Amino acid sequence: MEYSERLKKLPVQFFATLVEKVSRAIAEGRDIINLGQGNPDQPTPSHIVKALQTAAENPDTHKYSPFRGMPELKNAAASFYKKQYGVDVDPLTEVAILFGTKAGLVELPMCLLNEGDLMLLPDPGYPDYLSGAALSNTKYQTFPLKAQNDFLPDYNAIPEEYTEAAKLMYLNYPNNPTGATANRAFFEETVAFAKKHNIAVLHDFAYGAIGFDGKKPVSFLEAEGAKEVGVEMYTLSKTYNMAGWRIGFAIGNPVIIESLNLIQDHLYVSLFPAVQKAAVTALTGNQQCVEDSVLLYEQRRNTFIKACRRIGWQVEAPAGSFFAWLPVPDGFTSEAFADYLLEEADVAVAAGKGFGKYGEGYVRVGLLVDEERLIEAVNRIGKLNLFQS
């Protein structure tokens, strides 16, 4: 028995390799501080858990959900966007419920592209964007996100042969892995670029709630004309610590939304109804839990960055997301450095190379352990005397 060519083209699951290394070290009895992954460490707020429990006790939720999701969840997503970003959304035609946004990200090229078509992806970027290209038998080209450009793409530097051929582009701000954020002017420039070259845009807004220093992240849909060219994907995984619940949605251009609905008609009936009910509670309920969560990440960021600078590690503070993107000291590749920290300091970080060619020279740290453990991690790294303090 052989796998299909499609499956053979799938990139190696980068996080699976990391998890394996960390699990091996833990099995050896070592006290590993795991800063390598992107799994929120806080529990889902209790009012959302209670909504799930109540819904699960109602036998109606044991049946198939309506195809394409519950209307009340689409309404909740539309009013959430109106309230949070001032964007008008038609819940019927402009919202698609997703089995986690990862599913939507991977499905989208299958929805919009034909075999051999080209998509544009950020480098560094979330590794699963590559899976969508592999499974749809399409091609991709990357565009660099460079520190000197605040990790935003320079559209003028993307070669014409790519802008002319590309049909779809992915963007993600607040950004994983760099922690960079984007403003409305950038999204307006993106709309103009997309219109000029006839490229559909997917904006991945996974960290849409997590902006620091009082700056709330901007939605792509806030840009004039955004709905004409693209959609945004919003997950409940990070905003409400619901990563295990697998729920998110796409919002925006009706043709793209219909394409996602169409493919999902054939993949899922829809999601577990009780999870959808709880998601309504999350989106329409009190948002204090989100504010608390952002504050927590901000405090961790401040503590961590200060501790790094104290040991002489010259690092920049991220503006959003719960990641810090740190330069690797001279003499190491990102992978060698990540391996060295795991072996010598029992600290796991993600090697930048896993996010693309332009991720080389960096490691990504998730601010997903408490402040005490973050300080302990930096102290352990400090003892390796890699930096001049």
Please report, as ranges, the residues that interact with ligand PLP according to CB under 6 A: 38, 100-102, 126, 172, 176, 204, 206, 235, 237, 243, 248
CA angle 187, 188, 191 (to 5 degrees): 90
- Min dist CB 387 to ligand PLP, Å, is 28
Q: Are 174 and 211 in contact (CB under 8 A)?
A: yes
235 or 293, CB closer to ligand PLP?
235
In the bound state with ligand PLP, the residue whose beta carbon lies nearer, of 165 and 243, is 243
Pick 174 or 382: Cβ nearer ligand PLP: 174
* Residue nearer to ligand PLP on the CB measure, 85 or 126: 126
CB of 273 to ligand PLP, least distance (A): 19
- Could you tell me the CA-to-CA distances from 304 to 22, 101, 368, 372 in Å, in that order? 21, 29, 11, 10
CB of 38 to ligand PLP, least distance (A): 4
Rounded least distance, CB 235 to ligand PLP, Å: 3
Q: How far is the CB of 125 from ligand PLP (least distance, A)?
A: 8
Residue of 347, 314, 306 lying closest to 330 (CA atoms): 314
Least gap, CB of 2 to ligand PLP (angstroms) = 29
Between 77 and 345, CB nearer to ligand PLP: 77
Question: In this complex, which beta carbon is closest to ligand PLP, that of residue 127 or of residue 273?
Answer: 127
